[in-house]
Amino acid sequence: MDLRYALSEIRKNGSNVHWWRQRLLTNVVSKYFKTYREADSPPIHECDWDTLIILDACRYDLFEECYPEFDLSGTLSKRTSLESGTPGFLRENFGDEDFHDVVYVTGNAYVSTLLSSNQFHDVIPAWKDNWDDDVQTVTPEAMGEVAKRVAEEYPDKRLIFHFVQPHEPFIGEKRVGIREQSAIRQQALGKEAPAHAKRKPTAFEQLDRGKLTKQAVWDAYRSNLERALPVVSDLLTEIDGKTVVTADHGNSFGEFAKPFPIRVYGHPLGIYIPSLTEVPYFEYQNGERRDITAERPKSRVSEDMEVANERLRMLGYAE
């Protein structure tokens, strides 16, 4: 690190406890976990499924609390995610390997920016083609429609449906932490957007700063999952074969990064604590298993990286 830059940042942010926490999590805590933590789960592609539904940022305890209300008949167990954020999840589970028997439908633009489309038989960018400008995300209902269409188009492929929910923005019945629409609109139009320091904080940043209560954020988080689960339930009975519902990582509501006395909010990378790595693994089988065949990747025009990055900024992943 450039010493002059480091000193400049300390002078500018030295009295900001939230800034220090993020620096410690990134430069100390995550390095500790990467050094001493031993992964006890196989990559998700090695698990037994025909269809994989990924609920972005869904904690195990949240899913366990909600799923009985939505008639999801199946077997729930707990899985330890290999990472605490989507970029790490993609890297650890897929890396640079090829999965030409898989079609990946994603509402999360990271899949298109961090993985090569040629790794899979096909990648369907719902984050680009099914974006809802009113709520600044891909709704679960839109994802469900794309999922059904893709399941009909590719009956002999393993399918991955990567939902955005319950990750922010919270678009369920209860909503908190919504970003200014003007800023999002400026980004969507490719115009200059407010600098990081001027943007409205996310719900988890507001929780960290005492501007929102833990209960208010949890209720909105739960409401976001509740909006997605009816779509998930529908897909379980619509798509043949064995379906697994899981998550890439969880969310932290101020739990300590043990053994460090540092509280964690949201889902920073490399922080392997239960609130971030304990995720659901829900198994359901509908009829006979599908016969899966690997084929050469479909030829697709490369995705517009700038559009992908705009979508990520809107979702709060990047600034």
Residue 29, in any domain of the structure: no
* Distance in angstroms (rounded) separating the CA atoms of residues 138 and 127: 6
Dihedral (CA of 245, 247, 252, 257) sign: positive
* Distance in angstroms (rounded) separating the CA atoms of residues 277 and 292: 30
The pLDDT value given to residue 11? 60
pTM beyond 0.85: yes
- The single residue listed with the structure tokens 């960290």 is 208
* Distance in angstroms (rounded) separating the CA atoms of residues 211 and 201: 10
The pLDDT value given to residue 24? 86
pLDDT band at 16 (very low <50, low <70, confident <90, very high): low
Domain of 143, CATH number, reads: 3.40.720
pLDDT band at 263 (very low <50, low <70, confident <90, very high): very high
Q: What are the start-end ranges of the E strands in the chain?
A: 51-55, 75-80, 99-106, 120-125, 158-163, 241-246, 252-256, 263-266, 278-286
Position with higher pLDDT, 316 vs 5: 316
**Residue % of the chain over a pLDDT of 70:** 82
* Distance in angstroms (rounded) separating the CA atoms of residues 168 and 221: 8
Residue 11, in any domain of the structure: no
Residue 41, in any domain of the structure: yes
Residue 4, in any domain of the structure: no
Phi, psi of 136 (to 5 degrees): 60, 45
pLDDT averaged over every residue in the chain: 87
Residue 26, in any domain of the structure: no
pLDDT band at 13 (very low <50, low <70, confident <90, very high): low
Residue 15, in any domain of the structure: no
Residue 310, in any domain of the structure: yes
Helix axes 305-315, 181-188, angle to 10 degrees: 170
Residue 19, in any domain of the structure: no
Residue numbers of the domain that contains 184: 37-315
Domain count, the chain: 1
The pLDDT value given to residue 22? 82
Helix axes 214-238, 140-153, angle to 10 degrees: 20
292, two tokens: 């899966």
The pLDDT value given to residue 4? 59
pLDDT band at 87 (very low <50, low <70, confident <90, very high): very high
pLDDT band at 104 (very low <50, low <70, confident <90, very high): very high
